Structure 1
Amino acid sequence: MASSKALLGAIFIASFYFPASIAFPAHHEGAHPVGHSPKPKLGLSPDFYISTCPQADEIVVSVLKKAIAKEQRIAASLLRLLFHDCFVQGCDASVLLDDSKADASEKNAIPNKNSLRGFEVIDEIKAALEEACPHTVSCADTVALAARGSTVLSGGPYWELPLGRRDSKTAYMKLANKNLPPPNATLHRLIKFFERQGLDKVDLVALSGSHTIGMARCVSFKQRLYNQHRDNKPDMTLEKRFYYTLASVCPRTGGDNNISPLDFVSPSKFDNSYYKLILEGKGLLNSDQVLWTGKDQKIADLVRSYAENESLFFEHYVNSIIKMGNRNPLLGHDGEIRKNCRRVNQVL
C-alpha cells in the first residue's frame, strides 16, 4: 500500500493548484486506491462513464478546487452531504430535492435544517457536467464524486468509486428524521443506526473518522457542556481544558450557531488526529467521544488502532465508504438522471 503521508500538507497549498487534467496523477501518493474494495452492486462500476463522459472526474475536481480554495470548510460539507444522502433510502440524491407540491424536502428534516451545506457547489458541478455530457452523469454520482474529491483534496485516501447510480424521483423527509444519527446519540443507538444501513462496528468507527475535517454548530454539542444528563452538569468525559475552550465559544444561552472544529488539531486535513483527540477526552460531539467511553471493547480497540496507525484507518475508511455507497442504488431503468439536481425532470 502506498503511503498517504505526503498528502497531509496544508489543504490551501499545493493540492488546489494541480491542473484539472491531472487531478489524481499516477505519481501522487493519494492517487493510488487503498483498501480492498467490496464487490460493487451489479451495474455499478468505476468505468461506468468511460465512454459517455470520460472527463467527469476532472470536471468535478476542477470545480472542487476553486470551491475549497474559497472556503476550506466546504470539503467537509460535501462529504457530509454524501452521508446524509446515503443514510436515507440509499445514495440516490434525494437529499438534493427542494420542496415541491409532491414532496417535503429532506433539507428541512431536523438533522439537516440550517445545517446541511454544499448544495450550490453541487449545482455548479452538475451544470459543468451537463454542458460537457448532457443527461449522462446522475446527481447521485455527482455527490459521490464530490465527496471523494473533497476527501483527496483534504489529504485523505483515493478510492476506485463504483458509479452508475440513478436519481430518486422523490424525497423522504420522514426517513431523514428517522435514519440520521443525532450528535448526542449513545453508542448503542449509533450501532443501531448503522446496522439499519447494513453497516457494522468497523464501518461505524471508520466512517466516524470523516469528522477529522469540518466544523459543528454549538447546538450540536451544547448539551455536553451544560446539561448532559438533564442534571445541569457537564459531560464528565470532557477533558477539562477542552471543556473551558468550548464553553468560551458556546455560552449557556445563545450562540447556537457559533462553530467549533470537530478536530481542532488539523481541521482541514483528513488524517487520524480525530482518533487521537478522542483518546484524550477531546471528541467534540457526544457521538464522537462515546466511541471511546461507550464500553464496547471492539469499538474502543478500533479507535486506538486508528489513532496509532493512519494507514489502517485509511484502508478501513475506503472499504466502509464504498460499502455504504453500494447499498441499494437505483439502477437500470429505476429513477432517472436529473438535469437539475434540485427537482425531478418534467414529463413532456
Structure 2
Amino acid sequence: MAERCRLSTDMQTNPGAYLGAAMGSLAKTGRDKVTVIASPSLTTFGLWVEQLLAESTGKEGTGLIPIAQEPVLKPNAYGADRFFVYLKLNREKNSALDQAVQALVKADQPVLQFNLRDCYDLGAEFFRWEFATAVAGHVLGIHPFDQPNVQESKDNTNRVLETFQSTGRLPAQPNHQPKEVAKALSGLLQPGTYLSVLGYTTPTRPLEAAVGRLRRALMSTYSVATTFGYGPRYLHSTGQLHKGGPNTGVFLELVDRMAPDLPIPGRPFSFGTLANAQASGDLESLRTHHRQAIRVQLGRNPATVVDAIAAAVMGTRGSDRRTGTRKPYPKTRR
C-alpha cells in the first residue's frame, strides 16, 4: 500500500490519492458525510477513521464529517449528503451488509468498496486513510496537521472549575425533557445537517443499544446523519470538527448524575465535578461558535431516558404526518 501510494502518479491506481480525491471532491458538492460501513469484526475501525478525519479536516468552516457505527438502513433513510465506504472482510458473514450496500448503489449513492483478505490487511488501510486524509485536506484547502479548536474546550473547562472552587457550585445549565428535545429537533434537523449525541456517562451496552435506537429513529424520521461519542473522549476527536467544521451540526448532550462519585487526590473537586465541568465547557464552546446544542440530564436509568427521546422523535413524525405541516427550517450557517 505504501509503495503504491508513493510511486503511482496516476490517480486511478494510487489507492490513497483516489480515496482522498473522492472524499474532498464529493465534500465540495455537499456529500461531506463520509459513512463507514464495515464487516462485524471491523466496526471499531470506523472510530479510528472518525478521529482521523474529524480532527484533521474539521476547521475553517469546512471538513469531512465521519459517520461510524451507524445503523445500516434502507436507502430512503439517507440524504444526498452521503459518501459510503464499505470495508468488507472476506470469509466473514457479510450477506446482509452486501445486500444493503447493493441497495445503496442502486439508489445512486456514491459507494467505494475495499475488500480485505484478512485482519492483517488493516495495516494497509491505516496507511491508505492517512494518505487520503492529507490529499482530502489539500482538495478542501485546509491544513490537515493542526487542531486549533481542541484547546478551547479545555480552557472553558478550567474556567468552569475556577467558578466551582470560588462558589462551591457549577454553573446552572438548562435541562430538557424528552418531548421538548423531540420538538426542538423537529425545527433544527434539515437536509444536510447531522445530529451528534455526546454522552457524558458510563459506557454500558444498554445505553449504546438505546443510542442505536435513537439514531435509527432520527435517520428514519429526518434522513440525517448521526454520530455518537463519549465525553470527554470525543473532545480529542470529533470535538475539533464540532467547533471548527461546517456549521451543520445539532448537538444532543447527555449528562449522567455522576453517582457514585469519587474524589480526585490533591484536588478540591471530584471526578464527577470534573466531568460535569467538561460537559459545561464544551457546551459553552459550541454556543460560542453559534452551534445548536441541547442538554439532557440523565436520570437513574440513562437508557430509559434515551429511549424516551427516540419514542418522542417517532411521535413527532406521526404528528407531522397527521397535520401535514412541519416547522420551517432555519437557514444553516457555515
Higher relative contact order (CA 8 A, sep 6+): 1
Pick the structure with greater CA Rg. Answer: 2
More strand by share: 2
* Structures share fold, TM-score greater than 0.5: no
